[in-house]
Structure 1
């Protein structure tokens, strides 16, 4: 599927209406094999990883066979995810690509070259945005938010699907020009935070620059080419507050007893036997606080030595950044207390699940560091000031499901 119209853009550069190809997924007949046979290779395929060529050939075959069917009219899509204690609605559409210095679309994390290179190869080869990035904005109960709710509560959805995570997904198309114009007008003055998809957004920007260089187009022509836009889900975080979860660390080579002993020189350490008691104590403790778990017990770190903490935190960072628990972990606990860096060589990542982190640490004979999630307002404030939170600081959800809406430039 492809992008909805450019209406999901928070600024005028993205608000123009051009025919974008949108595709909805047709249900294949029972027994139909979705993976297509390999097509004849195109010139230059030898230099590409076969994964990207396979993805391109699969997409082409699905379009040719009707598994994916282009929508007839340019559209914005209302997208709803619902489940136990979850309701999120937003708009999927083309968002105009803005330089970070314009403070229109705000990244809050740095990107790594490897993932960007992977996504660049995939998008270049497929000539498509295969899934939307996830953006949050303050909608202030504006026109876009009201229309999203009206559509979701009064109109028949195009697609309804239930996924194995227990969520129900519904999709509606907005094709009325008056409604699309009203949405664009409401979104133009607003900022958006990248909740998920930093590497894809960076890839959007690289592809845009490459396309301009290839066609020798000046920067002031931006906004008239498909590569000047990227597929995005835009959610009003006031109407639908995101589920922001913590990302925990596991240090396999640091036994729990050693981690605790070292921490006692700069932190107050509280001992627990039961993980549930430790988690409850972590929840009620003022920041900064961390829960250590592994073989032999559970230990809560609170009340760091203020002199040591102040000395460890970088002077070129804002007070807000230096107060984040992930910043304190990255700049103080790991390097100063335990003598290591927060990188892929030393530290393993566990999303959301504190019990899974504790089990992994126990099996490895190491230490799990369990964190409280950051507050959305903290992340927004750091991003608005032009800073980035440390790596693996946030996990926003629910993320858009891959496959409901995708964007192909071969049809654009």
Structure 2
């Protein structure tokens, strides 16, 4: 199902950030802090605060969070996103989910978050920022950071706190017509909305979010490949050949891998290799259909017999090792570009499950929000 729609304007409001001790952020410490029983999490965090293992910002702020891992630097604005208004129509949407959610998983997350009284990590959202937004971020970075450290997972962080009323007003104004795509955290976003609907007029009217400028410090979009069990190469060939606008070509492994890109996906059982190309897509036309859409909307529904299961993998070598002639076909997909994702969701569409992998994500525990603090 698709989550409800938060209405424009997008508002990222000040809150009291809490963060684990810099030497313990990441790794098992976060898991221990946020583990069962969830009703004890708030008391556990307060105990850690008394022992100096948790930092609580005494003044509310909107934060600029910059993190660097594996040579990639990402920077975003972190605030308590206003969830209290629902969009009456598509044009009024401020937040654009690109994947559906599983109802049971979202409900469980909402129950867990309510028991913890904590937003343990911001959902990650992406947009192309206006110059005014980028200027507001750069002005915040001209001051001394609130925090600078390297965490347990060797991710480096710099965090600036924006508290000045005029600076906050300018930032909010610059975000007024933003339409942000959710990069990571669809189920948490749905959980936010469930909690807001159950507790309107309370601190649950807000949920922790980080907004990244894809033109300034872009997130990397990786592909998530598929393994179709209970399927053969001939099954896939017949499905492709009966799909309008698709062309099946059996080639060697080297040529197949070289062909992978916008407008082409690759199928193999480890012995045979083939390329399925589709029309209306090229390197010069980056807003073509996403290959993952073609696979799940055009090819998979035509497979006879249907796959017994679908497995997902971020690494090509892992998926290829599981391919088996007559029993399992690996499908290699190109990563969709951000403009493709944005176009699809802006047209009120959803991509298939596990269509994108936005990386890198910030370490959990660096910025959290205690709902008890408002």
Normalising by structure 1, we get a TM-score of 0.75
The structure with more helix, counted as a fraction of residues: 1
Matched, 1:169 2:157: yes
Equivalence for 2:3: none
Equivalence for 1:114: 104
Matched, 1:145 2:111: no
Secondary structure of 1:117's aligned partner: helix
Matched, 1:271 2:251: yes
Q: CA 1:62 to 1:340, structure 2 compared with 1: closer, same or farther past 3 Å? A: farther
Q: How many angstroms does 1:37 deviate by?
A: 10
Q: How many angstroms does 1:358 deviate by?
A: 1.1
Q: How many angstroms does 1:91 deviate by?
A: 0.9
Structure 2 counterparts to residues 204-215 of structure 1, below 5 A: 204-212=192-200
Q: CA 1:299 to 1:154, structure 2 compared with 1: closer, same or farther past 3 Å? A: farther
CA–CA distance in 1 between the matches of 2:29 and 2:184? 28
Matched residue pairs, number?
A: 352
Structure 2 counterparts to residues 178-257 of structure 1, below 5 A: 178-212=166-200, 225-255=202-232, 257=233
Q: CA 1:170 to 1:261, structure 2 compared with 1: closer, same or farther past 3 Å? A: same
Deviates more, 1:114-123 or 1:100-109: 100-109
Secondary structure of 1:241's aligned partner: coil
Matched, 1:347 2:324: no
Q: How many angstroms does 1:27 deviate by?
A: 4.9
Contact 1:10 1:192 in 2 (8 A): no
Q: CA 1:148 to 1:14, structure 2 compared with 1: closer, same or farther past 3 Å? A: closer
Q: CA 1:363 to 1:240, structure 2 compared with 1: closer, same or farther past 3 Å? A: farther
Of 16, 20, 26, the residue aligned with 1:21 is: 16
Structure 2 counterparts to residues 373-412 of structure 1, below 5 A: 373-412=335-374
Secondary structure of 1:110's aligned partner: coil
> Where do 5+ consecutive residues of structure 1 fail to align?
1-8, 39-48, 213-221, 307-319
Contact 1:133 1:231 in 2 (8 A): yes
Q: How many angstroms does 1:211 deviate by?
A: 0.6
Contact 1:111 1:199 in 2 (8 A): yes
> Where do 5+ consecutive residues of structure 2 fail to align?
1-5, 281-285
Q: CA 1:63 to 1:155, structure 2 compared with 1: closer, same or farther past 3 Å? A: closer
Contact 2:118 2:369 in 1 (8 A): yes
Map Cα deviations across residues 116-148 of structure 1 (whole Å, 9 max, x no partner).
Answer: 022112111101111000111221222x31232
Equivalence for 2:271: 296
Equivalence for 2:56: 70
Q: How many angstroms does 1:174 deviate by?
A: 2.1
- RMSD of the TM alignment (CA)? 3.4
Secondary structure of 1:377's aligned partner: helix
Contact 2:10 2:175 in 1 (8 A): no
Contact 1:282 1:372 in 2 (8 A): yes
CA–CA distance in 2 between the matches of 1:162 and 1:36? 15
Matched, 1:95 2:81: yes
Deviates more, 1:96-105 or 1:131-140: 96-105
